[in-house]
Amino acid sequence: MRVALFVTCVNDVLYPDTGRAVVTLLERLGVDVDFPTGQSCCGQPQYNTGYRHQTEPLVHRYATVFTDYDYIVTPSGSCAAMVRDNYPKIAQRATAEGRESGLSRAAAAAVPKTYELTEFLVDVLGVTDVGAYFPHTVTYHPSCHGLRTLGLGDRPHRLLQAVRGITLRELPAADECCGFGGTFAIKNPDVSTAMGHDKITHALTTGADILCGADNSCLMHLHGLITRQHTPLHTVHLAEILASTKEHPYTPATKAGNLR
Amino acid sequence: MSRTHLGLPTFPQAARLSTRDEQLRANLRHATSTIRTKRATATSELSDWPQLRAAGAAIKDHTLHHLDHYLEQLETAVTTAGGTVHWAIDADDANRIITDLIHATGESEVVKVKSMATQETGLNEALTQAGITAYETDLAELIVQLDNDRPSHILVPAIHKNRTQIRDIFHTRMGAWGRPAPDDLTDTPADLAEAARLHLREKFLRTKVAISGANFMIAETGTMVVLESEGNGRMCLTLPDTLITLVGIEKTIPTWRDLEVFLQTLPRSSTAERMNPYTTTWTGTTLGDGPQTFHLVLLDNGRTDTLADTTGRQALRCIRCSACLNVCPVYERAGGHAYGTPYPGPIGAILTPQLHGTTTPLNASLPYASTLCGACYDVCPVAINIPEVLVHLRERITQGGPTTTNGTKTTIKPAKRHTTERTTMRTAAWTLNHPAAWTATQRLTTRTRALHPRRLPGKTARAWTATRDLPPVPARTFRDWWQHRDADAKDTPQ
């Protein structure tokens, strides 16, 4: 089984700990994971803002970079959804415009082997207890694209429930968007902020110390609001909780910038 | 179109104020969360909901594919049944036709059934200019009309008002329009409903002309169908001598059998009822029973242009249930008025820019009034993939491209306001497709991390940093760690 990590551009630069956690976790589960360095971005920011043509080279890149792998695992529901939901549409539109140029083949190759992390763990590896230890009170925000486009369902919950030491609290209005929405956060800052504040308020009512998510872009928005308001809440990617063990417990990122 | 949106604030500008209106936020939070929960229960009762949803979409798609055929069939059937069919190419055309029809009756007052089509054409304003007074008889439309306000929701036009505010409106405004509200009016729903009933009863019994829309038009028999909750519609559709019905051409369905699907999905999606209290159907005119004169005005107003767009045309499946509004987190916080048009919420964000173009700043801002969270698509009873159309319209705005205006294929230019964004996106896409450039950009980001301020200057950056801190930039990228992980094995993660 040849497994590649698609770390995503946001994680590569801003949240390397999440990528490291995925590697740690998969290796602990006996998976030999590779990181092809030709990878960059799935093209979601461009596509969702209305720049479909700019995403086409990235579709080709994604398919080419991961040609030699059976599985592509990514710790981002929205990036996985971008590949699975939108790559075929991009190929179809290009074909309709007479510019097929291999996009259909690229999409067809990429789609079936792209897995969001929790899907890969539960569906491919068949595990829910990954041997993690995380003695904190946690509430989980299911980001929209994982929830609705991929249909992750209860996979994240099953994985979290099996973590030793964890206290899991149900997030009220969990299925409601946090207000990030990519460029929405900048184009509609007031609504975005209002939604984010509501999400944080809901998280605080649970009494959790940690707001967990499976998409760092949503967490980046929420974390930005949280630190600005000095709210006593931390945001942690699901992969980092699952990577945490008694021997190598999770260490929160420092203010100096995720140095360990 | 009679309503131009030049000068109206864009969606983000309007939302800047509305998100700060605590009363509005509280009213909408309460109303939408209540109806959301009820809708979820009402739809989950039906084990074949996914099939009904697919059937609804398929019926609509089939009809839209053969709309020319079904519209002609409808016209023949309505005419045969004693009605008169008029074709309105746009809002002004529709308003002119209806004004002339009312003038021909010699009347100067009309009662109205709640109708989105007449909101779309701005009929009430056009009638006022022609010296005709239109009385809204739907309770929520009445509230909005008395308050000289604008509707903020497709189904519940006064959703932004709570009952105390409604009591005050009845108190101060009803007298100017007819029978005043009693002095001791309370804000209990029963009292408010009774005051409205007594006020409206006068209008129903006196007025000789009614204006309505229709939820469905059945082509095979020429039958109009109106679904409602209050019974005011039934009054308007049966008591007057003349009935004028304005309907968008996309409301056609081929047969009575097709209605079966929508009679299940529409009430459950809109009011969360298994069946709405009143379903009125009529076919032309019937001697000695109901209005003796019936006019059907078929409205295009951008619908044919929308139909020409293979991605965008799915918006024409819409049955105006408003489930997408109730479930939309953006709508809940910004409120319906921020959309600046009769069609608010997710469906409005894809319908308005298609019907009326993307040239005004407001209309061009609507496709961005969404996080693409997909909740609207999930609840839509005719499976309109609203996020897909939103992204499609964003492309039309940023990149330009082929579109159809007034039946003519044209290529629109990219919007001017997106020049910087376009350059940024192109540069980013180029960088991300050139590994050396991408690595260099990453290095630059991490090595200058100590210099990154917590708040940034410039309009775009401020939009982020006004309320949020920027994420701290780590010392090393993931790929940097990966490439050196064997070399510095000591730096084992966790």
**B412 and chain A in contact, CB less than 8 A:** no
A14: nearest CA partner in chain B: B473
Name the H helices within B150-255: 163-177, 189-206, 232-238
CA-closest candidate to residue B336, choices B131, B32, B93: B32
B79 in a domain, yes or no? yes
**Cα torsion at A21, A24, A27, A33 (round to 10°)?**
50
Question: Which of A23, A37, A46, A51 would best serve as a mutation to test chain B binding (most B beta carbons within 10 A)?
Answer: A51
B478 contacts in chain A (CB < 8 Å)? 7, 11-13, 15-16, 19-20, 35
Give per-residue pLDDT as tens, B281-336. 999 999 999 999 999 999 999 999 999 999 999 999 999 999 999 999 999 999 99
B415 in a domain, yes or no? no
Give per-residue pLDDT as tens, A9-37. 999 999 999 999 999 999 999 999 999 99
Residue of A176, A193, A258 lying closest to B472 (CB–CB): A258
- Structure confidence at residue B182 (pLDDT): 95
B398 in a domain, yes or no? no
**A25 and chain B in contact, CB less than 8 A:** no
B456 in a domain, yes or no? yes
Query: In the listed set B240, B267, B301, which residue is the last one of a domain according to the structure?
Result: B301
Query: In the listed set B301, B325, B354, which residue is the last one of a domain according to the structure?
Result: B301
- Structure confidence at residue B355 (pLDDT): 95
Query: Is residue B6 predicted with pLDDT exceeding 60?
Result: no
Using left for φ > 0, alpha for ψ between -120 and 50, and beta otherwise, residue A43 falls in left
Domain with B447, as residue range(s), is 434-491
CA-closest candidate to residue B200, choices B118, B259, B124, B143: B143
**A13 and chain B in contact, CB less than 8 A:** yes
Cα first-last separation, chain B: 63
Number of domains in chain B: 2
A259 contacts in chain B (CB < 8 Å)? 474-475
B124 in a domain, yes or no? yes
Measured between CA atoms, how close is B60 to chain A, in angstroms? 22
Query: In the listed set B252, B281, B301, which residue is the last one of a domain according to the structure?
Result: B301
Distance (Å, whole) CA B345 – CA B152: 9
Distance (Å, whole) CA B89 – CA B333: 35
CB proximity under 8 Å: A 75-134 to B: 89, 96
CA-closest candidate to residue A107, choices A147, A58, A69, A50: A58
Query: Is residue B156 predicted with pLDDT exceeding 60?
Result: yes
Measured between CA atoms, how close is A201 to chain B, in angstroms? 14
Region B261-279 average pLDDT: 97
B360 in a domain, yes or no? no
Whether residue B225 is found in the same domain as residue B79: yes
B309 in a domain, yes or no? no
Give per-residue pLDDT as tens, B124-135. 999 999 999 999
Measured between CA atoms, how close is A149 to chain B, in angstroms? 8
The predicted complex's ipTM stands at 0.95
Whether residue B147 is found in the same domain as residue B293: yes
The CATH code of the domain that includes B292 is: 3.40.50.10420
Whether residue B296 is found in the same domain as residue B438: no
CB proximity under 8 Å: B 166-185 to A: none
B92 in a domain, yes or no? yes
Domains and CATH numbers, chain A: 3-124 (no CATH), 137-243 (3.40.50)
**B444 and chain A in contact, CB less than 8 A:** no
